[in-house]
Amino acid sequence: MYPKLAAFLAGALTLMVTATPFPQPEPQQKYIVILHSAAPSQAVSNQERRDAVKQAFKISWDAYYKYAFPHDSLKPVSNSWADDRNGWGASAVDAFSTALVMRDWSVVAQILSYVPTIDFTKTSTEVSLFETTIRYLGGLISAYDLMTSNPLFSDPGFNYTSKQTDAILSQAVRLADSLSVAFNTPSGIPDNTLVFDPKTGPRRAGRQTNGLATIGTLVLEWTRLSDLTGNSTYAQLAQRAESFLLNPQPPQIAEPFPGLLGTNVNITTGLFVDSSGGWGGGTDSFYEYLIKMYLYDPTRFTLYRDRWIQAADSSIQYIASHPSTRPDLTFLAGWRGGGGGGPRGNTTLRFSSGHLDCFAAGSFILGGLTLSSHKYLDFGLQLVKSCAATYSSTATGIGPEAFSWQDSRTPLNNATNNPGPPPNAEQKAFYEKNGFWITNGQYVLRPEVIESMYYAWRATGDAKYREWAWAAFLAINRTTSVGAGRGYSSVENVDKEGGGRKTDFQESFWFAEVLKYCWLIFQDDDDPWQVKSDKTNQFVYNTECHPIRLAKGHEAPPSSSSSSSYS
């Protein structure tokens, strides 16, 4: 036990895992739980911080494995499970790449034994093409990339055969083949909702529209699968769909600001049907993948870079907003309507944002590093500071799901889109002090604020971002821990001491994102999957924080054969 950590870590827990046909954790393993009195200001080494993060991972994993595996998600309050992602073991696949970067070989062995048993052709619930791509397909491709390259391939703990690692890629191919029916539409824009009929096989659910993020967050995973297998079909499907977003039509509806788009697209015609949008849920990761595709392969994806630059420039010029009571903070507004042609046109800004939107800080920072642009880097750091403030402002030290503010430049109280805070004295006082008011106080184990702190640390080397992330980790740990080694739960109200009621859900992305970003930001070793400030990146993260190896020199020979039915 490290002496500094011992000052505020205590309470050993014994976690027993029930018998299953898969490899077991070591019996009587003890874990240390962070006490509520833990203070971020105490001097703690990065090794000790990594140990604390890894302990949280082990508690989460062993509770999932005991009470929920091989189902999708743990319900830690009731010691039960949910199949919210088709019953294919979403938490196991999402935890795979995290266990690998942590070099937790016992957990890797459990997941590696499970992956070949998943039947991706059968499920009793509707399948989301988007969610299945970012969690399952991305998780499998990432695990394959990590396990077939150094330093893991040559790690003393690595004891796996090529047959075992090839099985991971084979499962990714099987899954993509089942999902490919989504693209069988008149335009090639996929239907995001599928039904895996046990009699007739996978089919589209028949939706008429699809969203910006759910169309535009497929291209990295599907392109990588083509590059690994030599089968170009997968990339062609995703890139054809993406083409309608790179050249959005009709422009007077699709593009209310240069590079910033509406949300919904008609699957038959490929035309945008609205002009509302933002950097939040439903649109977010489309913008994220533009710069990441250019990083993945700057030869093939220059247009993606150009479109990201347009979106970034418009965001800085048109939708960056400063609260009237805290003009030192910067948030990105959303927008409604439009269709008037040209910047602003008939578009009305809405001064609201949320936890999901805070990923944008990391996107601007990555864009700044990739393009050697101080403008984007500096703007990203402004956003990080502001999103960190949503954490430090609440009773728990965790930021809310959604919040609003009054823009400092728009006429106060006279504009219908720029009202002040709710009339009660408590909300007014909160806004006066903090520059935002909470509209949804939930915390569902989201990663985006810590994600952006990670990018800020990797870009600048400024230790304050590590301190902010450590404070966030401690706050999340003490607020969401169910105790007794049963995992971590979403909570109802971040501005209430203790988070209010625990809502009994441990999301799979808790494994993939929150715990991985916390681990990476405290890792001193410069592993190849770390974001690099000197353009020596070897990996790029998908939106679920699964590291995908860059294309340069790692593609399989092209193949004209296809195991998919659609092209």
* Contacts for 130 with CB less than 8 Å, ≥ 6 apart: 192, 213, 214, 217, 218
DSSP 557: P
Residues 268-297, mean pLDDT to the nearest whole number: 98
pLDDT at site 566: 32
pLDDT at site 345: 56
pLDDT at site 410: 85
Token pair, residue 338, equals 């439009």
Type of residue numbered 46:
N
Contact, 265 vs 320, CB < 8 A? Answer: no
Residues 140-157, mean pLDDT to the nearest whole number: 95
pLDDT at 340 exceeding the cut of 50: no
Around Cβ 184, how many Cβ atoms within 10 Å?
A: 16
Residues 492-511, mean pLDDT to the nearest whole number: 98
pLDDT at site 554: 62
- Tokens 């788009």 belong to which residue? 261
Range of weakest confidence among 39-43, 52-56, 292-296: 39-43
For the stretch 247-270, pLDDT in tens is: 999 999 999 999 999 999 999 999
Contact, 107 vs 61, CB < 8 A? Answer: yes
What ranges in 72-161 are assigned the alpha helix state H?
90-101, 105-114, 129-131, 138-147
Q: How far apart are the first and last CA of the chain?
A: 57
pLDDT at 559 exceeding the cut of 60: no
Range of weakest confidence among 104-113, 130-139, 148-157, 307-316: 148-157
User: Higher confidence at residue 36 or residue 420?
Assistant: 420
Token pair, residue 154, equals 């040559």
Catalytic residues: 401
Q: Helices 463-480 and 374-392 sit at what angle, rounded to 10 degrees?
A: 30
CA angle 411, 356, 503 (to 5 degrees): 115
Residues 297-309, mean pLDDT to the nearest whole number: 97
Among 177, 180, 341, residue whose Cα is nearest residue 256: 341
Give residue 115's Cα distance to chain centre: 22
pLDDT band at 525 (very low <50, low <70, confident <90, very high): confident
Helix (H) or strand (E) holding 463: helix 463-480
Helix (H) or strand (E) holding 103: none
pLDDT at site 552: 80
pLDDT at site 519: 98
pLDDT at 476 exceeding the cut of 80: yes
Query: What b/e sequence results for 485-518 when a residue is b if at least 16 CB atoms lie within 10 Å of its CB, and e otherwise?
Result: bbbbbbbebbbeeebbebebbbbbbbbbbbbbbb
pLDDT at site 337: 83
Taken in order 44, 45, 48, 49, the sign of the CA dihedral is: positive
- Tokens 């799979």 belong to which residue? 508
- Tokens 């916390």 belong to which residue? 518
Strand, helix or coil for residue 559 = strand
Q: What percent of the chain has pLDDT over 70?
A: 88
DSSP string, 6-45: HTTEEEEEE------SSPPPPTT-EEEEE-TT--TTS---
pLDDT at 37 exceeding the cut of 60: no
Range of weakest confidence among 25-39, 53-67, 283-297: 25-39
Distance CA 290, CA 301 (A): 8
